[in-house]
Chains A and B, each alone.
Chain A
Amino acid sequence: MPRIIKNTQIVEDHWQVLTLAENETPEAVALPAAPTLLPLAVWLARRDEIVTAGLAHGVWLDAGEGPEAVADDLERLPVIGVNFPKFTDGRSYSSARLLRERYTYRGEIRALGDVQQDQLFFMRRCGIDAYALRADKDIEKALAGLAVFSDTYQAAVDQPQPLFRRRTARGQEAA
């Protein structure tokens, strides 16, 4: 069974990711029975069907697809994938923050695609809590990527207070 990083642990994972082949359409593609992250287009086209059938599916958002499209469905989605089509495509960092901070999504946000050790710290800060590491990379070693820095300047999902607010508090304690 494939393994992912969940929070700070390596765990076995049963979620599949559906990608449409060229000859498949969102309307006609066969819906798997096993828990699957569906492309946004499939979710939008088949939402009622999936809900009625009681299938426990999630959705994955490509880098150009914002969370706005699933804003009303968040309670039905145990997992939302955010795709990184390549290492240097940073759009899904914004998607993850919006999911957590604007839409208060509490389920799992999973990084998919070109996911490597050196993005993990930033991903975690943006509210991503599961990481499907690229298959050719050493997942054990990659864990180190979660804990690169011991502190952060900016407010983000993991630390809602920017350093300057905490610095002041520390200074007052010291005084």
Chain B
Amino acid sequence: MYRYDSTDQQLIDERVSQYRGQMERHLAGELSADELRPLRLQNGLYIQRHGPMLRIAIPYGMLSSAQLRKLAEISRRYDRAVGHFTTRQNMQLNWPQFEETPEILAELASVEMHAVQTSGNCIRNITSDQFAGVAPDELVDPRPYCELLRQWSTFHPEFAFLPRKFKIAVNAAAQDRAVIRAHDIGLEVVSDERGEIGFKVLVGGGLGRTPILGKVVREFLPRRHILSYLEAILRLYNRYGRRDNMYKARIKILVQALGSEEFARQVEAEWAHLRDGETTVTDAEFDRIAGHFEPPAWETLPAEDPVHNTRLTTDKAFANWVKRCVHAHKTPGYAAVTLSLKAPGVAPGNISDAQMIAVADFADRFSFGELRVSHEQNLILSDVKLGDLHELWQLARGQRLATANIGLLTDMICCPGGDLCALANARSLPIAEAVNDKFDDLDYLYDIGDISLNISGCMNSCGHHHVANIGILGVDKNDEEWYQITVGGEQGNDAIIGKVIGPSFYAQEVPEVIEALIAVYLERRTASERFIDTWQRVGAEPFKARAYAGRDRRRTAKVADKESQAKEIVNA
């Protein structure tokens, strides 16, 4: 993975000093709370429902074991010994002390980490494929491009105060695992007919209150032009994106207003001034960064491991785990492993300090000391020998990290919701827990098969509910928590925004509604159909009819005990 040189390190150290100074000025009364807000947000610090929340950047989800140990130590020393992984592959600490945040950033800097631009109206953490570098279906490793963009976007002087937040994702695989069409800019690494590497550029995707999929503005951009081309896009957005209404401030609204063809024309016109300048990326720089992502020292192994194969036939629980949590690797004899952070009774994406230490040990022992965070809020060991899988499974089971539910109903993406987040209209964690309680039988989950269920506590859609097969959105009606259900969403190459099936439900109805939707699927499916296939074939009606059948509309919703705290809506 990328290691800082002395300049990278110095910049991050200087950032810590800058932030420390800003906090000192604030505490001395020289910077008001309002004046501090944009500064602390660009260092990941929110003021939440119960206090501060610090969002730590994990660039494109890559972590070393040493970094994870540091996160464990920080969570223990400065928080409640727990961290939460997010859909931007970052980690949130939910209980740090406001005054201690400069110390936390200094600790992070000691392991080449930071919280730069994890919030605020700026270019956020670049996200990518959790299987980058090992996926059999990828064209090239996307991480060098992510790192190039990380450096370019870090402290960019022109684009630090955009109309709204700005998210970029990069995919280089046949199957898009980074949801690039749901990003302000989605980059797909492609090669042209002569084998030159470049990007297909999509702009204007985003979830939130107006979910829109990104539009292609350029089919092929040679890779050397990527930074100047992005500067052209960002400059247009910075100058002409709406600033009068925060709900219409994302670039998708600008693209929509101009039409994607006119937007693309304006980008090309701006880019004509910028292209072929000093910002054109040199081959030497591509090579320098790519050198940091050289494959680890894989052993030459046979594609099959007989002992492993025997275990698969004799140990059903192990075989189930392998089926759901072990993924193909481009190198014979190796596999990528997902450690599920979706164990029953645990908030999705949460990890304890002890688990972090354990995973760091697993990474050192089985996977060259590195790991990844997925946007589905799980952890990945990318380079595990087939012969080591059984031992890893046993160890992971001991840490409750081997729930064999990846890609199944209980592998939910879920935001922290109203229990912690000041933006939320409703709680999401109790809904996740109720779904887990309802679907606690693994065999039943296996029978249901591949399905995605995502939960967002508000319109900001951090839980990606729009692109889930079943999406749950918390809404607030007269101070009561209600839940709107969408069905038919999908991530990946053919990303689809799900459709709302009808009026919202009370919290206690949600598990029954999910059960009803699943029941229709199980009754109607053909042998090879996944939930989404059946939905697309039979249409919404039977699902709607069952979801609302016998619904007792006289029942009153449970009133949530909401705190009337000012909502920090500026920078979700």
Inside 8 A of B5's CB, which chain A residues have their CB?
A: 167
Given A122-B157, A155-B277, A161-B278: A87 touches B11 (CB 8 Å cut-off): no
Bound state CA distance, A168 and B7, in angstroms? Answer: 13
Q: Which of B7, B121, B284 contacts A163 (CB 8 A)?
A: B7
Bound state CA distance, A152 and B238, in angstroms? Answer: 20
Q: Is B239 a contact of A149 with CB atoms below 8 Å? A: no
Q: Is A154 a contact of B157 with CB atoms below 8 Å? A: yes
Asked if A3 is an interface residue, CB under 8 A from chain B, the answer is no
Bound state CA distance, A160 and B279, in angstroms? Answer: 9
Inside 8 A of A122's CB, which chain B residues have their CB?
A: 155, 157-158, 160
Q: Is B157 a contact of A87 with CB atoms below 8 Å? A: no
Q: Is A155 a contact of B279 with CB atoms below 8 Å? A: yes
Q: Is B160 a contact of A90 with CB atoms below 8 Å? A: yes
> In the complex, how many angstroms separate the beta carbon of B290 from the nearest chain A beta carbon?
13
Q: Is A153 a contact of B154 with CB atoms below 8 Å? A: yes
Bound state CA distance, A93 and B159, in angstroms? Answer: 8
For residues 137 through 160 of chain A, which have their beta carbon under 8 Å from a beta carbon of chain B? 138, 141, 144, 148-156, 160
Which of A118, A138, A152, A167 has the most chain B CB atoms inside 10 A of its CB?
Answer: A118
For residues 225 through 279 of chain B, which have their beta carbon under 8 Å from a beta carbon of chain A? 227, 235, 238-239, 243, 273, 277-279
Interface residues of B, Cβ cutoff 8 Å to A: 5, 7, 10-11, 14-15, 18, 21-22, 30, 35, 38-39, 121, 151-152, 154-162, 227, 235, 238-239, 243, 273, 277-279, 281-282, 284-285, 288
Q: Is A165 a contact of B282 with CB atoms below 8 Å? A: yes
Asked if A23 is an interface residue, CB under 8 A from chain B, the answer is no
Q: Is B282 a contact of A93 with CB atoms below 8 Å? A: no
Q: Is A164 a contact of B285 with CB atoms below 8 Å? A: yes
Between A and B, 21 residue pairs with Cβ closer than 8 Å are A66-B239, A89-B161, A90-B121, A90-B238, A91-B238, A93-B160, A97-B158, A122-B160, A126-B158, A153-B11, A154-B157, A155-B278, A163-B7, A164-B284, A167-B5, A167-B7, A167-B285, A167-B288, A168-B282, A168-B285, A168-B288
> In the complex, how many angstroms separate the beta carbon of A118 from the nearest chain B beta carbon?
6
Chain A contact residues (Cβ within 8 angstroms of B): what range? 35 or more
Bound state CA distance, A97 and B284, in angstroms? Answer: 27
> In the complex, how many angstroms separate the beta carbon of B234 from the nearest chain A beta carbon?
9
Bound state CA distance, A127 and B158, in angstroms? Answer: 10
Bound state CA distance, A122 and B227, in angstroms? Answer: 18
Q: Is B157 a contact of A125 with CB atoms below 8 Å? A: yes
Q: Is B14 a contact of A164 with CB atoms below 8 Å? A: no
Inside 8 A of B21's CB, which chain A residues have their CB?
A: 144
Query: Nearest 5 A-B pairs (CB), nearest first?
Result: A90-B161, A125-B157, A164-B285, A122-B157, A153-B151
Which of A94, A151, A154, A160 has the most chain B CB atoms inside 10 A of its CB?
Answer: A154
Inside 8 A of A153's CB, which chain B residues have their CB?
A: 11, 151-152, 154-156
Bound state CA distance, A123 and B162, in angstroms? Answer: 14
Asked if A88 is an interface residue, CB under 8 A from chain B, the answer is yes
Q: Is B39 a contact of A118 with CB atoms below 8 Å? A: yes
Asked if A76 is an interface residue, CB under 8 A from chain B, the answer is no
Q: Is B285 a contact of A91 with CB atoms below 8 Å? A: no
Asked if A162 is an interface residue, CB under 8 A from chain B, the answer is yes
Inside 8 A of A89's CB, which chain B residues have their CB?
A: 161, 243
Bound state CA distance, A66 and B239, in angstroms? Answer: 8
Q: Is B39 a contact of A138 with CB atoms below 8 Å? A: no
Q: Is A118 a contact of B279 with CB atoms below 8 Å? A: no
Bound state CA distance, A165 and B273, in angstroms? Answer: 20
Q: Is B14 a contact of A152 with CB atoms below 8 Å? A: no
Given A87-B35, A165-B278, A167-B288: A138 touches B158 (CB 8 Å cut-off): no
Bound state CA distance, A167 and B22, in angstroms? Answer: 30
Asked if A116 is an interface residue, CB under 8 A from chain B, the answer is yes
Q: Which of B35, B121, B161 contacts A93 (CB 8 A)?
A: B161
Which of A102, A122, A161 has the most chain B CB atoms inside 10 A of its CB?
Answer: A122
Inside 8 A of A144's CB, which chain B residues have their CB?
A: 21
Residue of B nearest to A98 (CB): B235
Inside 8 A of B162's CB, which chain A residues have their CB?
A: 90
> In the complex, how many angstroms separate the beta carbon of A105 from the nearest chain B beta carbon?
15
Q: Is A164 a contact of B238 with CB atoms below 8 Å? A: no
Inside 8 A of A149's CB, which chain B residues have their CB?
A: 11, 14-15, 18, 155
Bound state CA distance, A10 and B405, in angstroms? Answer: 63
Q: Is A162 a contact of B279 with CB atoms below 8 Å? A: yes
Inside 8 A of A116's CB, which chain B residues have their CB?
A: 35
Bound state CA distance, A122 and B159, in angstroms? Answer: 9
Bound state CA distance, A150 and B12, in angstroms? Answer: 11
Given A89-B243, A90-B161, A91-B239: A154 touches B156 (CB 8 Å cut-off): yes
Bound state CA distance, A160 and B281, in angstroms? Answer: 14
Bound state CA distance, A147 and B284, in angstroms? Answer: 29
Bound state CA distance, A21 and B5, in angstroms? Answer: 54
Residue of A nearest to B22 (CB): A118
> In the complex, how many angstroms separate the beta carbon of A84 from the nearest chain B beta carbon?
9
Q: Which of A88, A90, A102, A164 contacts B159 (CB 8 A)?
A: A90
Q: Is A154 a contact of B279 with CB atoms below 8 Å? A: yes
Residue of B nearest to A125 (CB): B157
Bound state CA distance, A168 and B35, in angstroms? Answer: 39
Residue of A nearest to B162 (CB): A90
> In the complex, how many angstroms separate the beta carbon of B243 from the nearest chain A beta carbon?
7
Inside 8 A of A94's CB, which chain B residues have their CB?
A: 158, 235, 238-239
Bound state CA distance, A155 and B152, in angstroms? Answer: 9
Bound state CA distance, A95 and B151, in angstroms? Answer: 23
Bound state CA distance, A149 and B278, in angstroms? Answer: 21
Residue of B nearest to A85 (CB): B243
Q: Is B157 a contact of A148 with CB atoms below 8 Å? A: no
Inside 8 A of B235's CB, which chain A residues have their CB?
A: 94
